[in-house]
Amino acid sequence: MMSPSAVWVVLTALAVGASVIEPQPAATAGPAECVIIGAAGERPMVSDPSECEHGTAPASTFKIPHALLALQLGVITPATVVDGNGSTSGSELWRQPHTVASAIRWSVLPVFQHTARLIGAARMREGLRSLGYAADSFDGDVATFWLNGDLVVTPREQFAFLERLVSGRVPIDAVHRATVREALHMPPGQVTNASGTHAFPLAWPGPLEVRAKTGNSETKGERVSWLVGSVRSNGIEHVVVSRVRAPGDLAGTAALDAARRGVDAYLNQRGLR
């Protein structure tokens, strides 16, 4: 496992087809981290090849493929408003009416549990296969499988899926891709989710467009924090996947912190600042 305080050293590993950031040994084991960053068509920077092949529940990052399928299948439209008054869980924000865009932006679970039931298990499984989202599938409740470890996805799989989405190489109509990508567009220097707005300052030079989705889960005593998305700068979009996992306590923003460190290493390695 790699510690968040590890010193990052950049290596080139042609054997795995990626640039690898390898931490110096830490005095004590900490959370396990994976960060993958790269522009479409280039070898990505991979922090820990072994850890990046380990699957966990995608948690709220699953809202990206979920929303794409819901729009493509027509169970909702961008204008559909789902009334949250029936929800008894989550924050007051969850109990407000939401479109798919606001439900992505504020990570409104009840909206996506509603759309999952409209899609149904069979169409959800087939849709995920068509997207090439993950090697794994699910057998249980269609409204919870992305939260409880019934379906797991690796950071490598998340990166490959997002790279195809950014490049327009998924079987989803362009208008629906645009709706979801716009919903992922974050305010400058910030990321929003169900717990509010969080600082996400990046040292990337020049004007930036950041698209991001976070996710947090706890399964069998292990907590997991995700951030997936992209950073667009100077006309080039770089896919970013960050995941941190640990037994016991783990900050919900752990993946944001790991992503910022990964961005610093990526910029140094690629000579982008």
Number of domains in the chain: 1
CATH code, 120: 3.40.710.10
Mean pLDDT of 249-260: 97
Q: What is the pTM of this model?
A: 0.89
* Residue 1 maps to a domain: no
Express each pLDDT in 153-211 by its tens digit: 999 999 999 999 999 999 999 999 999 999 999 999 999 999 999 999 999 998 999 99
pLDDT for 85: 61
Mean pLDDT of 244-263: 96
pLDDT confidence bin for 30, thresholds 50/70/90: confident
pLDDT confidence bin for 15, thresholds 50/70/90: very low
| DSSP structural state of residue 6 | P
Write out the residue range of the structural domain in which residue 229 sits. 8-270
Tokens read off for 106: 């504020």
* Residue 3 maps to a domain: no
* CA 68 – CA 148 distance, rounded (Å): 21
* Residue 127 maps to a domain: yes
pLDDT for 19: 55
Express each pLDDT in 55-102 by its tens digit: 999 999 999 999 999 999 999 999 999 986 666 666 778 889 999 999
Mean pLDDT of 235-256: 96
* CA 223 – CA 58 distance, rounded (Å): 12
The string of DSSP letters for 192-226 reads EETTEEEE------S--EEEEEEEEEEETTEEEEE
Burial 21-34 (b: 16+ CB within 10 A, else e): bbbeeeeeebbbbb
pLDDT for 92: 79
Tokens read off for 35: 């960060």
Coil, helix or strand at residue 10: strand
* Residue 71 maps to a domain: yes
> 3 near 23, Cβ under 8 Å?
yes
